[in-house]
């Protein structure tokens, strides 16, 4: 997802009187895509970049089993 789309999401959050954080913007972007019918893995990869979901899952798995 490009920066202009993420900036637009941040603007929507800011319009509600809330200071947007990166976590809020990313979370809202992923949630919106999931609610529109994408599976969570695809939505996360769309926002964060191809392979990001698997990398996060691998990192969490490795930390949990360290």
DSSP of 21-45, one letter per residue?
-HHHHHHHHHHHHHHTT--HHHHHH
Tens digit of each residue's pLDDT, the chain (66 residues): 889 999 999 999 999 999 999 999 999 999 999 999 999 999 999 999 999 999 999 999 999 999
**What backbone phi and psi angles, to 5 degrees, belong to 46?**
-65, -40
- What's the confidence (pLDDT) of residue 51? 97
- What's the confidence (pLDDT) of residue 48? 96
Count how many residues are written for the chain.
66
- Around Cβ 47, how many Cβ atoms within 10 Å? 22
Please tell me the distance from the alpha carbon of residue 29 to that of residue 27, in angstroms, as a whole number. Answer: 5
- What's the confidence (pLDDT) of residue 46? 97
- What's the confidence (pLDDT) of residue 1? 87
pTM for the full model?
Answer: 0.84
């Amino acid at each position: 997802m490009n920066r202009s789309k993420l900036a637009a999401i941040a603007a929507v959050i800011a319009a509600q009187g809330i200071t947007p954080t990166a976590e809020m913007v990313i979370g809202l972007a992923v949630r919106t895509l999931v609610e529109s019918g994408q599976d969570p893995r695809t939505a996360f990869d769309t926002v964060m970049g191809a392979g990001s979901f698997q990398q996060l899952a691998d990192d969490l798995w490795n930390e949990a089993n360290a």
